[in-house]
Chains A and B, each alone.
Chain A
Amino acid sequence: MSKQQRENTLIDLKGMTKSYTVNGQLFSVLPKINMTVSKSEMVAIMGPSGSGKSTLLFILGLFLSPTEGEYLFDGKNILTLNRGQQAQFRRERIGFVLQSADMFQHSTVYENVEYPLIYARSRPSERPERIHQVLQQVNLTNRMHHSSNKLSGGEKQRVAIARAMVNHPAVILADEPTGQLDADNSQQIMEYFRSISSTTDTAMVIVTHDPNVAEKCDTVLQICNGQLL
Chain B
Amino acid sequence: MRPTDLFRISCIQVLRQYRKNIGVALTIILGTAGLIVVLTMGRSIEESICTDLELIGNATRITILFKQLPTTRYPVDKREFKQETIDGLKTIPGIDQVGVIAVRNGYVKVMYQNNISSFQMIAVDDLFWKVHNSSAQSGVLFDQEDLKQHSAVCVLGQRTAQELFGDLDVAGQFISVNNSIFQIVGVLDSISMSDKDRHIFLPITTAQDRISSVSPVNKIYIRCHSWDDVEHVIASIPVVVNSFQPNDEIEIFLPEEILARVKAIALGVKIFVQLALLATLLLGGIGIWNIMMMSVRSRTREIGLKKAIGAEDHDIFFQFLTESLVLSISATLMGFFLGWGGVTITASIIQNVPPKDLFWLSVVIGFSFSLILGIVAGLAPAIKASRMEVVNALRYE
Residues of A participating in the B interface, judged by any CB pair closer than 8 Å? 58, 61, 63-64, 83-84, 87-88, 90-92, 95-96, 98, 102, 104-106, 115-116, 118-121, 124, 163-164, 167
> Is B1 in contact with A167, judged by CB distance below 8 angstroms?
no
B235 close to chain A: CB less than 8 A: no
Docked CA distance A88–B307 (Å): 10
B309 close to chain A: CB less than 8 A: yes
The distance from the CB of B15 to the nearest CB of chain A, in whole angstroms, is 9
Known: A58-B394, A63-B308, A118-B2. 12 other contacts (CB 8 A): A58-B390, A61-B308, A61-B390, A63-B391, A63-B394, A84-B312, A84-B313, A87-B311, A98-B394, A105-B299, A119-B309, A124-B4
30 A-B interface contacts by CB (under 8 A): A61-B308, A61-B390, A63-B389, A63-B390, A84-B313, A87-B311, A87-B313, A90-B307, A91-B309, A92-B310, A95-B309, A96-B308, A96-B309, A98-B305, A98-B394, A102-B302, A102-B305, A104-B305, A105-B302, A115-B306, A118-B2, A119-B1, A119-B309, A119-B310, A119-B312, A120-B310, A121-B1, A124-B2, A124-B4, A164-B309
> Is A102 in contact with B311, judged by CB distance below 8 angstroms?
no
Residues of B within 8 A of A119 (CB): 1, 306, 309-312, 315
Docked CA distance A105–B14 (Å): 12
B17 close to chain A: CB less than 8 A: yes
B13 close to chain A: CB less than 8 A: yes
Least CB separation from A121: chain B residue: B2
Residues of A within 8 A of B16 (CB): 106
The distance from the CB of A123 to the nearest CB of chain B, in whole angstroms, is 9
Least CB separation from B308: chain A residue: A96
B301 close to chain A: CB less than 8 A: yes
> Is B17 in contact with A163, judged by CB distance below 8 angstroms?
no
Residues of A within 8 A of B209 (CB): none
Residues of B participating in the A interface, judged by any CB pair closer than 8 Å? 1-2, 4-5, 9, 13, 16-17, 299, 301-302, 305-313, 315, 389-391, 394
Residues of B within 8 A of A98 (CB): 305, 308, 394
Docked CA distance A148–B305 (Å): 15
The distance from the CB of B314 to the nearest CB of chain A, in whole angstroms, is 9
Docked CA distance A98–B251 (Å): 94
Docked CA distance A181–B323 (Å): 35
> Is B312 in contact with A58, judged by CB distance below 8 angstroms?
no
Least CB separation from A103: chain B residue: B305
Q: Could you say which of B5, B17, B391 contacts A118, with CB atoms under 8 Å apart?
A: B5
Docked CA distance A96–B313 (Å): 18
Q: Could you say which of A87, A91, A106, A124 contacts B13, with CB atoms under 8 Å apart?
A: A106
CB contact under 8 A between A87 and B302, given known A64-B391, A119-B1, A121-B2? no
The residue among B17, B306, B311 with the most chain A CB atoms within 10 A of its own CB is B311
Residues of A within 8 A of B4 (CB): 124
The residue among B17, B305, B307, B389 with the most chain A CB atoms within 10 A of its own CB is B305
Docked CA distance A121–B9 (Å): 14
Top 5 A-B residue pairs of the complex, sorted by shortest distance between their CB atoms: A91-B310, A106-B16, A63-B390, A87-B312, A90-B310
Docked CA distance A124–B7 (Å): 14
The distance from the CB of B9 to the nearest CB of chain A, in whole angstroms, is 7
Residues of A within 8 A of B390 (CB): 58, 61, 63
Residues of A within 8 A of B313 (CB): 83-84, 87
Q: Could you say which of B13, B307, B309, B315 contacts A163, with CB atoms under 8 Å apart?
A: B309
The distance from the CB of A77 to the nearest CB of chain B, in whole angstroms, is 20
CB contact under 8 A between A90 and B305, given known A63-B390, A118-B1, A118-B9? no
> Is A106 in contact with B394, judged by CB distance below 8 angstroms?
no
The distance from the CB of B120 to the nearest CB of chain A, in whole angstroms, is 79
The distance from the CB of A121 to the nearest CB of chain B, in whole angstroms, is 6
Least CB separation from B17: chain A residue: A106
> Is A116 in contact with B394, judged by CB distance below 8 angstroms?
no
Docked CA distance A102–B308 (Å): 12
Least CB separation from A122: chain B residue: B2
The residue among A83, A90, A95, A124 with the most chain B CB atoms within 10 A of its own CB is A90
Residues of B within 8 A of A104 (CB): 302, 305
> Is A87 in contact with B307, judged by CB distance below 8 angstroms?
yes
Docked CA distance A186–B305 (Å): 22
Docked CA distance A32–B342 (Å): 72
